[in-house]
Chains A and B, each alone.
Chain A
Amino acid sequence: MSNTLQETQDISEIVNRGLKKRYRSEFMFRFYGVVSILFAVVFLLVFFSSIISKGYSAFTQGELNMKIYLNEEVIDPDRLRDEEEIRYANFDKLVLDSLKTYFPEVSSRKERKELKSLVSSGTSLRLQSMVLNDYSLIGQEIDIWVRLDSDIDMYLKGNIDVSLDESQRRISDNQVRWVQELQEQNLISQNFNSTLFTAGDSREPELAGVLGALVGSFFMLIITFIVAFPLGVAAAIYLEEFAPKNRFIDFVEVNINNLAAVPSIIYGLLGLAVFINFFGMPRSAPLVGGLVLALMTFPVIIIASRAALQSVPPSITDAALGVGASKIQTVFDHVFPLALPGMLTGSIIGMARALGESAPLLMIGMVAFVVDVPTSPLDSSAALPVQVYLWADAPERGFVERTSAAILVLLFFLLLMNSTAIWLRNKFETKW
């Protein structure tokens, strides 16, 4: 008797001795869990603050308030008002003359060049189109804000270290001095960078915008939706409501599961080999991009639509069949309308994925440098994520902030689509 008591005491002794260690390991395990979540949280914070801190400055652009005298002697010396003549007039000279009024001491060729490159090389084009639109401006002095050159803008935003030797930075000592003088006269200010949203791509950072890429992505998503949504929903309805249980259907299911997991770049190879080389569709066109993305989104839509169909309670089907509806009528008049919000939610999330996808687009030539904003799905165009890729590769310092800004635009649209999906789900979700 005392023996067993002794044993019990021994065992609880052992257990008690181990308890501290076990509790500590319990605590550590829990701690690891918290650490891994914190790891993800910290990454997200670093990630977003890095992108935002790099990108927010791209939404403003340094501009110089200039008074430019549109000298008739330069623009149209013969006073013929001939469009061709005016088109080839030396607008650069007008810009330089205007700048010289602030710095009359500039004389040497090198200094003139430096002075001229204070403002964007797009300025003379802008003057040209202003004059071509309105001949009455000739001979007048106009007062406009012109964009500064990207390097000067970078200096104003503090991205160029002026303490370095002159040969090691992109702007010269003269330029720094001039800019400081102009700043003292309050002629320079940071204005909203509307070009970012109204222009296509450009080699000059201060003239580059995301509109072309945005429109290209928009065309692609439209095509993706038109192709993938009806197909995906129809396939889901068939598999969920009509498919017999046989080997063929199993095979279809295996294919769908695999398609959902095929790397996106392989879809690009498919697009290149089939759509472009075999069917001769145009390269770099949103049409081809849309078709490739449609193939990628197709399995996603099927999977989401099947889940939505499954969530419709069988009592609905039973009731419809019970009052004499045919199988097709039941599905299309009763089950489908109830499942539609769920299908749309899933599809929008799939489309948001497609919007952020760029690897297959590289394969079908959407990396081309396209300045014009596309007007149809057959025009050459970039896409938003591809624009990010292109700008990230560009050597100019000014493109770093623009890349981040393009990312912010992209993330904004992703957020918009996903919140639409969530809104749809909350608004139409029925709890059975």
Chain B
Amino acid sequence: MSISLFLISIIFLGFLSFFWGKRKALLLKNTESLHSLPRYYGYYSLAWFAAPSLLIIFLWLLFSESFVTNQVISLLPESIRALSPNEITLRMNDVKNLAAGNLIAGESFIGLEQAAANYNRITKLVQDIAIYSSLVLSLALFIFSYRSISGTLRARNKVEKIISNLLLVSATVAIFATAGILLSVLFEAIRFFQIISFDDFLFGLTWSPQMAIREDQVGSSGLFGAIPLFAGTALISLISLTVAVPVGLMTAIYLSEYAPSKVRSYTKPMLEILSGIPTVVYGFFAAITLAPFIRDFGVTIGLDIASESALGVGLVMGIMIIPLVSSLSDDVISAVPQAMRDGSYGLGATKSETIKKVIIPAALPGIVGGILLAASRAIGETMIVVMAAGLSARLSFNPIDAVTTVTVQIVTLLVGDQEFDSPKTLAAFALGLTLFVVTLALNFYALKIVRKYREQYE
């Protein structure tokens, strides 16, 4: 039975189970009084019918591939199983390609056809087991639930219990997602720190993640000192914040305190457009339009500006962050009570004096929170720096030099061919962990400040 046929029949039978449950309830209604509305009996049988199928499909989707792969590996000839895990993965890719009916380029190994046949056979077997067991179980549970339908069955309460549990499960997905992120990054990072010491990573001054291909190679043992990356990230983020904070803040102030409603109605959507432009497009703009412009400008004033300078990248990133700063500041500025403004005007202060001496000091915690959120966004931004910043790690705080960032290195380490045990690949996860921890701390702290600030004026 093919998967699509199975899915169609499950959906069809699901509808059928609903209508049968409902029909039985409607028939019962002629002879006795029902506890719940008839449709709840339908939902009740549907729930019993669907639960096992969904569970089995879910497990099958998650585990079938890795299960089959392991089974096929265990059936491979002894000589191949003795190879390193990477080698086996390569062989298994050939097996999967052949099993999918593709041609294999170049020579592979003896027993390939056999393994591909095994692969297809076991995949089919697992699929059949999943399909038939879920059909049988579903039908059995449906019959059980159908027989238990009676006037006294508290169908509505049971269905509602199921629904509210499903709702609760959906809400806890957020926890699983966070835990998944943390664990996946953490495990690989721990493996990295088993090879490279924590101090070397965090305080080392040289980043050159090339691993020796031969044992006796000179000078390429791989150095994983992340300080140049942190410095580069900090430099670019700092430049972007020096653009975004004044402009964003002034925009917010002007829009909330000065602008006539007409200007506001044009400017707000414009800021939304600015925040809606994909980062890859900003990156393209930074790399193709702005960087050459800045370089040429440098030539005319006699400065040697790198074509991947931190200045250009930071500038574009700053523009990307303007809407974030401005909308967060707008929120906190409009939360300042009108009474404080009126008090200041009553003393004869002008509008700008009121803003500078009353509103901004009052809104300062909120604004700082917003700036921290903007900083975390700048630190984690990837596409702009990948496209427009440099690749080589260089410890420099000069904005006209090319520097690299944490995110750029994660991408360079993980895009392209990779072997999954080398420190080079694992280093990406260690960088990811650092990035996650830093942004998490910034966000957590910023949200706390903002919340405290809101409570102050509520």
Partners in one complex: yes
Residues from chain B with Cβ under 8 Å of A353 in the complex: 276
Are A263 and B178 also in contact (CB < 8 A) when A39-B247, A269-B429, A279-B62 are? no
Least CB distance from A63 to B in Å reads 27
Residues from chain A with Cβ under 8 Å of B175 in the complex: 251-252, 255
Least CB distance from A248 to B in Å reads 9
Residues from chain B with Cβ under 8 Å of A418 in the complex: 276
With A and B bound together, what is the CA distance between A254 and B410 in angstroms? 27
A154 within 8 Å of B by Cβ?
Answer: no
By secondary structure, the A interface counts as: helix
With A and B bound together, what is the CA distance between A28 and B374 in angstroms? 27
Residues from chain B with Cβ under 8 Å of A274 in the complex: 180, 184
Does B174 contact A302, Cβ atoms closer than 8 Å?
Answer: yes
Least CB distance from B247 to A in Å reads 4
- Give the contacting residue for A407; candidates B168, B248, B250, B281; CB below 8 A: B281
Does A359 contact B181, Cβ atoms closer than 8 Å?
Answer: no
B53 within 8 Å of A by Cβ?
Answer: no
Least CB distance from A265 to B in Å reads 5
B283 within 8 Å of A by Cβ?
Answer: yes
With A and B bound together, what is the CA distance between A326 and B158 in angstroms? 13
Stretch at the interface among B76-84, B126-134, B142-150, B431-439: B431-439
Residues from chain B with Cβ under 8 Å of A46 in the complex: 289
Are A33 and B258 also in contact (CB < 8 A) when A298-B173, A410-B278 are? yes
- Give the contacting residue for A298; candidates B174, B284, B351; CB below 8 A: B174
With A and B bound together, what is the CA distance between A302 and B171 in angstroms? 9
A270 within 8 Å of B by Cβ?
Answer: yes
With A and B bound together, what is the CA distance between A22 and B356 in angstroms? 12
Nearest residue (CB) in B for A391 is: B284
A36 within 8 Å of B by Cβ?
Answer: yes
Residues from chain A with Cβ under 8 Å of B62 in the complex: 279
Residues from chain B with Cβ under 8 Å of A359 in the complex: 279, 382-383, 386, 407, 411
B285 within 8 Å of A by Cβ?
Answer: yes
- Give the contacting residue for A263; candidates B251, B350, B382; CB below 8 A: B382
A432 within 8 Å of B by Cβ?
Answer: no
With A and B bound together, what is the CA distance between A266 and B343 in angstroms? 48
Does A392 contact B288, Cβ atoms closer than 8 Å?
Answer: yes
Are A238 and B174 also in contact (CB < 8 A) when A40-B247, A270-B185 are? no
A3-44 interface (Cβ within 8 A of B): 22-23, 25-26, 29-30, 32-37, 39-41, 43-44
Residues from chain B with Cβ under 8 Å of A137 in the complex: none
With A and B bound together, what is the CA distance between A311 and B170 in angstroms? 22
Are A266 and B276 also in contact (CB < 8 A) when A25-B352, A50-B285 are? no
Interface bin, chain B: 35 or more
Residues from chain B with Cβ under 8 Å of A242 in the complex: 164, 167-168
With A and B bound together, what is the CA distance between A207 and B447 in angstroms? 50
What 0/1 readout, one digit per residue, does chain B (45-74) give for beta carbons within 8 Å of chain A? 000000000000000001101100100000
B300 within 8 Å of A by Cβ?
Answer: no
With A and B bound together, what is the CA distance between A190 and B259 in angstroms? 48
Least CB distance from A106 to B in Å reads 37
- Give the contacting residue for A252; candidates B63, B172, B379, B410; CB below 8 A: B172
Please indicate which of the listed interface residues A29, A267, A295, A328 has the most CB atoms of chain B within 10 Å of its own CB. Answer: A29
Does B181 contact A33, Cβ atoms closer than 8 Å?
Answer: no
Residues from chain A with Cβ under 8 Å of B168 in the complex: 238, 242
A277 within 8 Å of B by Cβ?
Answer: yes
Are A261 and B163 also in contact (CB < 8 A) when A266-B435, A269-B185, A269-B429 are? no
Are A389 and B380 also in contact (CB < 8 A) when A40-B319, A238-B170, A356-B278 are? no
- Give the contacting residue for B156; candidates A51, A255, A326; CB below 8 A: A326
A381 within 8 Å of B by Cβ?
Answer: no
Residues from chain B with Cβ under 8 Å of A277 in the complex: 420
Residues from chain B with Cβ under 8 Å of A262 in the complex: 181, 380, 436, 439-440
Nearest residue (CB) in B for A363 is: B414
Stretch at the interface among A75-83, A92-100, A229-237: A229-237
- Give the contacting residue for A40; candidates B274, B289, B381; CB below 8 A: B274
B116 within 8 Å of A by Cβ?
Answer: no
A70 within 8 Å of B by Cβ?
Answer: no
A221 within 8 Å of B by Cβ?
Answer: no
Does A280 contact B66, Cβ atoms closer than 8 Å?
Answer: yes
Does A265 contact B280, Cβ atoms closer than 8 Å?
Answer: no
A142 within 8 Å of B by Cβ?
Answer: no
A357 within 8 Å of B by Cβ?
Answer: yes
Least CB distance from B280 to A in Å reads 4
What 0/1 readout, one digit per residue, does chain B (376-408) give for beta carbons within 8 Å of chain A? 110111110011000000000000000000010
A200-241 interface (Cβ within 8 A of B): 230-232, 234-235, 237-239
Least CB distance from A360 to B in Å reads 9
Residues from chain A with Cβ under 8 Å of B259 in the complex: 33
A81-126 interface (Cβ within 8 A of B): none
Does A392 contact B382, Cβ atoms closer than 8 Å?
Answer: no
- Give the contacting residue for B279; candidates A33, A39, A51, A356; CB below 8 A: A356
B15 within 8 Å of A by Cβ?
Answer: no
Nearest residue (CB) in A for B93 is: A283
Does B410 contact A389, Cβ atoms closer than 8 Å?
Answer: no
Nearest residue (CB) in A for B432 is: A269
Least CB distance from A379 to B in Å reads 11
Least CB distance from B39 to A in Å reads 11
Does B247 contact A388, Cβ atoms closer than 8 Å?
Answer: no
Residues from chain A with Cβ under 8 Å of B271 in the complex: 40
B202 within 8 Å of A by Cβ?
Answer: no
Does B350 contact A26, Cβ atoms closer than 8 Å?
Answer: yes
Does A237 contact B167, Cβ atoms closer than 8 Å?
Answer: yes
Least CB distance from A78 to B in Å reads 28
Does A270 contact B274, Cβ atoms closer than 8 Å?
Answer: no
Residues from chain A with Cβ under 8 Å of B163 in the complex: 328, 332
What are 21 contact pairs spanning A and B, CB under 8 A?
A: A26-B350, A36-B246, A40-B247, A40-B271, A43-B319, A51-B285, A54-B288, A242-B168, A252-B175, A254-B444, A255-B175, A258-B440, A262-B436, A269-B181, A269-B184, A269-B429, A270-B177, A358-B278, A410-B281, A414-B276, A414-B278
3 nearest CB pairs, A to B:
A263-B380, A33-B254, A356-B278
New A-B contacts (12) at CB < 8 Å, excluding given A29-B352, A269-B410, A278-B184: A37-B263, A235-B170, A252-B172, A266-B380, A266-B439, A298-B174, A326-B160, A363-B410, A363-B414, A392-B280, A392-B284, A410-B281
Which chain A residues have a beta carbon within 8 Å of chain B's beta carbons?
A: 22-23, 25-26, 29-30, 32-37, 39-41, 43-44, 46-47, 50-51, 54, 230-232, 234-235, 237-239, 242-243, 249, 251-252, 254-259, 261-267, 269-270, 272-274, 277-281, 295, 298-299, 302, 326-328, 332, 352-353, 355-359, 362-363, 367, 385-386, 388-389, 392-393, 400, 403-404, 407, 410-411, 414, 418
